Amino acid sequence: MTSESYLARDADVADGAADRREREIRRRVRRQAEFYRHLIVYVAVCGLLWAINLTHYARIERAVPWFGYWALYPTLGWGIGVMMHGLATTERLLPFSAGWEERKVRELLAREAEDASRPTSKSAS
């Protein structure tokens, strides 16, 4: 094999790694964009709910005193979902992020390779 073919093969490997890295970056950016869209919808809908709640507060408070600020319930419930979506998007704050998965795969592959290279002792019965 000539040195030119080695260089060409190395360039192909580098291009594959670059393509893989670009796909990973695009996936991360897409996830961030999805989170921002989710956050915008959350703020818009909760703002509308609070506007409705506060404009009709007096009538609701007289009818059902404990339910006066009803917009609080969807705001808190959905807010927990938005927070979890944000944490999943950053990937650094979650214990089982994509980086963790990659490290774990490498660790298990190394352990398997180590076990395969270790001589097995079979006892004769």
Which parts of the chain sit beneath pLDDT 70?
1-15, 58, 60-66, 91-98, 120-125
CB 32 within 8 A of CB 89: yes
- Within a domain: 65: yes
Structural domain includes residue 117: no
Domain that residue 40 falls in: 29-107
Predicted confidence at residue 4, as pLDDT, reads: 57
Q: Is residue 10 part of a domain?
A: no
pLDDT of residue 92: 65
Residue 120 is assigned to a structural domain of this protein? no
Structure token pair of residue 63: 């009818």
Q: Is residue 52 part of a domain?
A: yes
Q: pTM (2 decimals)?
A: 0.60
Return the sign of the alpha-carbon dihedral for residues 24, 26, 27, 31: positive
Which residue has tokens 């938005």? 82
Q: What's the number of domains the chain is made of?
A: 1
Distances, alpha carbon 90 to alpha carbons 59, 101, 105, in Å: 43, 15, 21
> How many other C-beta atoms are found inside a 10 Å radius of the C-beta of residue 89?
19
The pLDDT of residue 3: 54
pLDDT digits (tens, 9 = 90+) for 55-64: 887 676 666 6
44 inside domain: yes
Query: What pLDDT was estimated at residue 8?
Result: 53
pLDDT of residue 13: 54
The whole-number pLDDT of residue 50 equals: 93
Cβ(82)–Cβ(45) under 8 Å?
Answer: no
92 lies in a domain?
A: yes
CB 29 within 8 A of CB 36: no
